[in-house]
């Protein structure tokens, strides 16, 4: 089941594999990129096999009941699945055409979409193809966020996680210049050229592992910025809402769906609008109302039912 690719995809993958482990299944993740590890290791009950371990993935495929893949590893995993007659599950993290096109080769037993709008986009894409190449079953599982793993007392900073241009690093910089009295937190991302302003009211911290986000990021955050050009869902916003942290976001379809009525939406190009919203939010009465809406939305996103349906679907393929 290869591989990890970026923080959002990695978090979604792990949070969906953990319930399978809890049901007693043997779960392995085979990494497809070089890293520091050279021996297999255990991560929350999941056996992780680094590429440097040089073990035989084909041998593991022969023994597997179900294969799972995502992102750039779908075509190669699909070939092995077809060759060994194994059912394959594809996790879809975005609506870019290759995500759907790779499944159109046929052989996908289960496609898992991370949002309802992604499911609708897939429906439009597959309308051009014969039914025989469409996924056998389709399921929506929103990126699972276990609220109690993220909930904390909010801090004082206005925060942006991953400061590349697509995520809105320039928005953070502009707002920090406009609001010198307000502390900002810039979290270096795992990919993309980072825009990290050298300003006295901006603290820059290095990339943070998912398990440390509560302590290192959300406990220091009062408002989360998500001025992203594209988000298929927006997991960090959901993590922040577990603590009642308001989220100011660009209205991508994914962010509108994930944040719901709790989201505070401002076009990423509207700096005046961002500044006005932040200044209003930082008033105690307005903040309390926004925080209450965020916590309510977090409760609505409880992943229990969707994860149970996910596990049932995978177990159905293994029979």
268-295: pLDDT as tens digits:
999 999 999 999 999 999 999 999 999 9
Pull the structure tokens for residue 287. Answer: 């903040």
Phi-psi region of 302 (alpha: psi -120 to 50; beta: other; left: phi over 0): beta
CA 218 to chain centre: 16
Instruction: Report pLDDT for 71.
Output: 86
Whether the pLDDT of residue 226 is over 60: the answer is yes
Domains 7-144+303-318 and 147-300 share a fold: yes
Neighbours of 309 (CB within 10 A): 13
CB 146 within 8 A of CB 263: no
110-161: pLDDT as tens digits:
999 999 999 999 999 999 888 888 899 999 999 999 999 999 999 999 999 9
How far apart, in whole angstroms, are the C-alpha atoms of residue 127 and residue 125?
Answer: 5
Domain 147-300: CATH architecture, name and number where available: 3-Layer(aba) Sandwich (3.40)
Confidence of residue 2 (pLDDT cuts 50, 70, 90): very low
The domain spans of the chain are: 7-144+303-318, 147-300
CB 267 within 8 A of CB 250: yes
The topology under which CATH files domain 7-144+303-318 is: Rossmann fold (3.40.50)
Say what percent of the chain tops pLDDT 90: 80
52-94: pLDDT as tens digits:
888 899 999 999 999 999 988 999 999 999 999 999 999 998 9
| Mean local confidence (pLDDT), 203-222 | 95
More confident residue, 39 or 7: 39
Strand order in the sheet with 67-70: 67-70, 88-92, 108-113, 137-140
Q: State the chain's mean pLDDT as an integer.
A: 93
Chain length of the chain:
319
Instruction: Report pLDDT for 318.
Output: 87
């Amino acid at each position: 089941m290869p591989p990890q690719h970026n923080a959002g995809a990695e978090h979604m993958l792990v949070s969906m594999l953990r319930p399978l482990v809890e049901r007693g299944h043997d779960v392995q993740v085979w990494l497809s990129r070089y890293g520091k590890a050279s021996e297999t290791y255990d991560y929350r009950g999941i056996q992780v096999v680094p590429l440097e371990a040089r073990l035989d993935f084909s041998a593991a495929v022969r023994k597997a009941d179900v294969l799972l893949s995502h992102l750039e590893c779908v075509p190669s995993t699909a070939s092995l699945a077809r060759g060994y007659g194994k059912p394959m599950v594809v996790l879809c993290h975005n609506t870019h055409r290759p995500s759907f096109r790779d499944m159109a080769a046929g052989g996908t037993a289960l496609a898992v979409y991370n949002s309802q709008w992604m499911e609708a986009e897939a429906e439009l894409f597959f309308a051009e193809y014969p039914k025989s190449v469409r996924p056998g079953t389709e399921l929506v599982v929103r990126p699972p966020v276990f609220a109690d793993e993220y909930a904390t007392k909010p801090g004082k900073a206005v925060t942006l996680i991953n400061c590349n241009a697509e995520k809105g690093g320039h928005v953070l910089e502009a707002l920090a210049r406009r609001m010198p009295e307000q502390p900002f937190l810039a979290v270096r991302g795992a990919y993309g050229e980072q825009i990290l302003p050298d300003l006295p009211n901006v603290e820059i911290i290095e990339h943070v592992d998912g398990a440390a986000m509560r302590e290192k990021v959300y406990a220091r955050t009062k408002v989360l910025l998500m001025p992203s050009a594209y988000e298929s869902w927006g997991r960090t916003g959901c993590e922040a809402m577990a603590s009642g942290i308001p989220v100011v976001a660009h209205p991508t379809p994914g962010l509108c769906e994930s944040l719901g009525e709790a989201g505070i939406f401002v076009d990423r190009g509207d700096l005046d609008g961002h500044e006005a919203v932040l200044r209003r939010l930082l008033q105690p009465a307005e903040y309390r109302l926004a925080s209450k809406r965020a916590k309510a939305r977090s409760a609505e996103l409880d992943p229990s039912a969707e994860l149970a349906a996910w596990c049932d679907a995978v177990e159905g393929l293994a029979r």
